[in-house]
């Protein structure tokens, strides 16, 4: 049977400010990962609670799914065009919603250029005025409300995710890299 076909929109090829990198997919693998279920309690700051919980299990890098929960303070921003032209995209100013329901989110735990834990998080949520929206979550400004936030984490082991400025996009991005040897 022939597959259904139709005309599709022509994808746009964006021109980023830096040199085109020949490496289009950077990847690393591990033999397996730990699976952890977290329940982030009321009053906790999301970033701190994720980092602390994972650290207690010896996990420095992970992929996480935020299944749901409630926040008494929720901070986020959207991505849009960068009017300065320094990059193609930049984040909007932070916005804050009070009583906010998290519907679904994904987060990555990695390391800053200095080796400190960082969390990159996108989510869809319902703000205090009832609007359902999606965007980049500022996890260090999000406080859990009356319902715990449930998180499923898969550890990434044998390599690390480290923030580096990407030359092509001139944006700090997480990259999978071999773990530095000690000694």
Partner 1 sequence: MGELLHVEAGRMGRVAYGRIAPNEDLVQSVEKLCLAQGFRCAFVRGALGSLVDACLLQRDGSCQTVLGPAVEIVSLAGEVRPHTDGSLRAALTGVVSDPNGRVYGGPFVAGANTVCVTFEITLEEWLPDNPIQVPAFAVPLPSPHTTGDQSEQSIE
- Each residue 140-159 as x (binds partner 1 by CB under 8 A) or -, in order, gives --------------x-xx-x
Buried b / exposed e along 1-30 (16+ C-beta atoms within 10 A): eeeeeeeeeeeeeeebeeeeeeeeeeeeee
CA distance 65 to 151: 6
CA distance 45 to 140: 6
Question: Minimum CB separation from partner 1 for residue 146, in Å?
Answer: 23
79 binds partner 1 (CB under 8 A): yes
Question: Minimum CB separation from partner 1 for residue 45, in Å?
Answer: 20
Question: Minimum CB separation from partner 1 for residue 13, in Å?
Answer: 5
165 binds partner 1 (CB under 8 A): no
Residues 6+ apart with CB under 8 A from 103: 68, 123, 124, 125, 126, 132
CB atoms within 10 A of CB 43: 11
Which range of residues in 36-44, 50-58, 104-112, 140-148 is near partner 1 by CB under 8 A? 104-112
Which SS3 state, helix, strand or coil, does residue 23 take? coil
Total binding residues toward partner 1, as defined by CB under 8 A:
66
Q: Quick one: 45 or 103, whose CB is closer to partner 1?
A: 103
How far is the CA of 86 from the CAs of 19, 22, 171, in angstroms?
A: 13, 21, 10
Q: Which of 105, 118, 139, 149 binds partner 1 (CB under 8 A)?
A: 105
Residue pair 148/40 in contact (Cβ under 8 Å)? The answer is yes
Question: Minimum CB separation from partner 1 for residue 50, in Å?
Answer: 13
Which range of residues in 37-45, 46-54, 116-124, 139-147 is near partner 1 by CB under 8 A? 116-124
Of 168, 179, 180, nearest in space to 23 by CA = 168
Q: Where along the sequence are the contacts to partner 1 (CB under 8 A)?
A: 2-14, 16, 21, 23-33, 63-65, 76, 78-81, 87-89, 103-108, 120-124, 132-136, 154, 156-157, 159, 161, 166, 168-169, 171, 173-176
């Amino acid at each position: 049977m022939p597959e259904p076909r139709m005309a599709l929109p022509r994808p746009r090829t964006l021109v980023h400010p830096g040199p085109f990198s020949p490496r289009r997919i950077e990847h690393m693998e591990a033999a397996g990962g730990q699976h952890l279920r977290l329940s982030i309690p009321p009053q906790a700051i999301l970033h701190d609670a994720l980092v602390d919980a994972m650290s207690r299990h010896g996990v420095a890098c992970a992929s996480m799914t935020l299944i749901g929960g409630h926040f008494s303070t929720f901070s986020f921003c959207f991505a849009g065009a960068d009017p300065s032209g320094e990059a193609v995209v930049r984040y909007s100013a932070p916005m804050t919603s009070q009583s906010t329901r998290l519907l679904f989110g994904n987060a990555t735990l990695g390391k800053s250029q200095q080796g400190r834990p960082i969390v990159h998080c996108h989510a869809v949520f319902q703000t205090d005025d009832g609007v359902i929206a999606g965007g980049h979550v500022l996890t260090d400004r999000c406080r859990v409300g009356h319902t715990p936030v449930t998180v499923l984490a898969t550890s990434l082991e044998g390599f690390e995710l480290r923030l580096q400025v990407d030359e092509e996009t001139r944006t700090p991005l997480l990259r999978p890299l071999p773990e530095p040897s000690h000694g």
